[in-house]
A and B are shown apart, each in its own frame.
Chain A
Amino acid sequence: MLAIADNYFAQFALPVDFEINSDKLGSRYRELQAEVHPDRFAASGEEQRLQAIKLSSYLNEAYETLKSPLRRAGYLLRLRGIDVEQVAQSDLAPGLLVEQMELRESLAELPGGESAFDRLDELNRKAASWLAERQRQFVRALAGNRLDQARKLFHELQFLHKLQTEIDKKEESLESVADF
């Protein structure tokens, strides 16, 4: 049915790189799903259907890993044999911790009314620009084979990503009481 490649990038015929062509990823994903999805085997035997579920699940996992910049970064480190599950406090630069505190504080002290949304937009932009900057540094570290630095940057990306989720949550909770 489907030949399993050495890594997720190869599975979608993409170079092993943080920079990714997402149109290509999407179209390749859909082509491969069209071959292995369980619906293609609705009339086949049990064994083939089970195999289809496995392959289709595998493709979904591979696709979602590469689609998300954060998960893609973690995966690139894993390919270099680095365990990203473990995180130590010392992996996080003091500067980041300060930025984090500031952002979290502004999140907790949002003004009332419409201006809260403007403030959230601003925070979102800030987080996004820090994220973009660290992604660039991550790419450089990886290219220069400075793996320990890349790992630290990855954990910082994780931190910033979590902050973005918190901003989103905050936005949702404000929306549910706002008028629009």
Chain B
Amino acid sequence: MSLLQISEPGGGDPRRAVHRRAAGIDLGTTNSLIATAIKGEVRTLADAGGAHLLPSAVQYGAGGVLAVGAAAKARSAADPGNVIVSAKRALGKSFAELQSGGGFRQYRFDAGKGDAAPAFVTAAGPRDPVEVSAAILRALAERSREQTGEELAGAVITVPAHFNDAQRQQTRQAAKLAGIEVLRLLNEPTAAAVAYGLDRREQGNIIVFDLGGGTFDVSLLSLRKGVFEVLATGGDTALGGDDFDQAVADWLIARSGAEAVAAADWPALLQVANQARERLGDADQAEVVWRDWRGALDAAQFAEIAAPLVRRTILSCRRVMRDAGVDTGAIDNVLLVGGATRMPLIRRAVAKFFGREPLADIDPDRVVAMGAGIQAEVLIGNQPTGDFLLLDVNPLSLGIETMGELVEKIIRRNTAIPVAKSQEFTTFKDGQTAMVLHVVQGERELVGECRSLARFTLGGIPPMVAGAAKVKVTFQVDADGLLSVSAEEASTGSKAEVQVKPSFGLDSGQIEQMLRDSRDHARDDMLARALGEARLDATRLMDAIGGAIKENGEILSAAEKSGIEQALAELRDAMAEHDSARIEELTQRLNHVSEAFAARRMNLTVGAALRGESIDTLSRETE
């Protein structure tokens, strides 16, 4: 697709004459929508039959895509393996996760080759989640083209606030594959707040509780004079209406006494479960007919089945309130977004937690696409930019691996973006000339329990004693939420840089698991961290003293030497144990017995350095 190139080096005039077609796209797990400006007003576009929602379903045949949307969804029971639904849940997932993933019982997966993403096996061959998403995006772009007569010049695509880098990157790839220029990836709850806030001229603190088909987000925003400031966001990218359907399906299987359900029968079963759940919205009881079993699901039974899922949403709400340091009493309004918030039990749980009735008079399905459409108009330059501004945050902590497999968090979750933060690190061993930087995402304190994003090496560090080199590591997150990392050694200016583009076997469920684990294991983490730090300090001191003895051992008396060696041996033994206090104590002792030696050695080294170096180098190194 060719794009109009408008180059304006001197800055944009918002009232330029050229109008470019921009749209907001809500690429949902269950349904997708597109919104664009018609006669100056952003609205969602309906198909010929008047339906605004495009079911996120794609049917594949031998020749490729057979159908997208309602037609594909209708054939899902008849052609289970070839109608792909809820592909959004597979974005960023590894083959192993898709194989075991509860949400995908009806599909077979292909592991993919090399860096390729794992794919659904269909009659058209393997199709990965990016391709399926692209087919949906193409159908929406086509709808816009038919109704406006214009090519789409750019779009704002919404993603769950809790999407990680991999999921965001794959969403971008899907748009690229569909020939759509992405103006911005916008967080879904933020988009909803824009549509709602601008419509009502709302001021104050609002909660957006967004439970969609497959993902859950909760954001707290402050709305003041057209500025939408996200104070905190939390959620679960593997929790949505689909999970409630699965829970009902499992209940149905247990109740009917059915034997194992074949993969091909899942779509039909899920449809029955979904219909029962939706009917419970208006009634106290829903008739259920599945195979030759006939029965009823009542509201109390459903509440029991759904309780663990509802609980998870409320836990996320608590976390967000705590992160923002805001009390539920300071909330002015609660906004429900996403089709799954139509469930009365969700409304009750939200009302109870926030102590106020949530707003229910807006269409929870369309508000996200509309907010994205409004932002698209601004970003493409059709709208003056002065009307409103979005200030969003980074949803998950970003950090770097340090010695002892610990994570040093550089940018904490819920930090306002764009952001740039630097921290200094140093070498661990004498003469170390390179440093491996391992970038991770997550809330836990140990590297193995966080998501690995990238690894790169900074070389060219001049050999110095351990701890003398100063390596400045800078993390930058731009307004799209994308991370880049650079590292620089202060004395030589040696540089390494990396734009984090995760190509690993990614997963998102892990992120929430990590968040949950970090709650459950806070104490384990503290102990492990204490032990890791104690061992690290001990190793560092033992290495330094070992090296020093080798180098300047001659300045030690025999008594001094045996004292140090004994302390060294005791500490080495303690290292094998898991007692951080003991290690610390022995480290202190070793430090104490070697103090005089270190002081004498320092005098020697400084003397040598002053003789050998020019003043210029010296002053730079001590800066």
Residues of A within 8 A of B (CB): 26-27, 30, 33-34, 37-45, 47-48, 53-54, 56-57, 60-61, 63-64, 108, 166, 168-173, 175-177, 180
Contact = CB atoms under 8 A, between A and B. Distances in A.
Contact of A43 (B12, B224, B516): B12
A175 B224 CA distance: 32
B224 A30 contact: yes
Contact of A53 (B11, B224, B418): B418
B544 interface: no
A26 B386 CA distance: 19
Contacts of A175: 315, 318, 519
Contacts of B416: 60, 63-64
Given A42-B381, A44-B8, A176 B516 contact: yes
B183 interface: yes
Contacts of A176: 315, 516, 519-520
For A42, A53, A63, A108, the residue with the greatest tally of chain B CB atoms inside 10 Å of its CB is A42
Contact of B389 (A37, A57, A168): A37
B11 A60 contact: no
B476 A34 contact: no
A87 B251 CA distance: 58
Given A53-B479, A173-B519, A173-B520, A39 B390 contact: yes
Interface string B558-593: 000000000000000000000000000000000000
A36 B390 CA distance: 12
A60 B415 contact: yes
Given A42-B183, A42-B385, A48 B11 contact: yes
A132 to B, nearest CB: 15
Interface of B: 6-12, 14, 16, 183-184, 222, 224-227, 229, 314-315, 318-319, 322, 378-381, 385-386, 389-391, 415-421, 476, 478-479, 516, 518-523, 526
A44 B419 contact: no
A40 B385 contact: yes
A139 to B, nearest CB: 21
B216 to A, nearest CB: 16
Contacts of A63: 416
Nearest to A168: B322
Contacts of A43: 6, 8, 12, 14, 16, 379-381
B229 A44 contact: no
Contacts of A171: 322
Nearest to A171: B322
A1 B95 CA distance: 48
Sorted from nearest, which 9 A-B pairs have the closest CB atoms? Answer: A43-B12, A169-B522, A43-B381, A45-B9, A172-B519, A42-B379, A30-B227, A60-B416, A57-B420
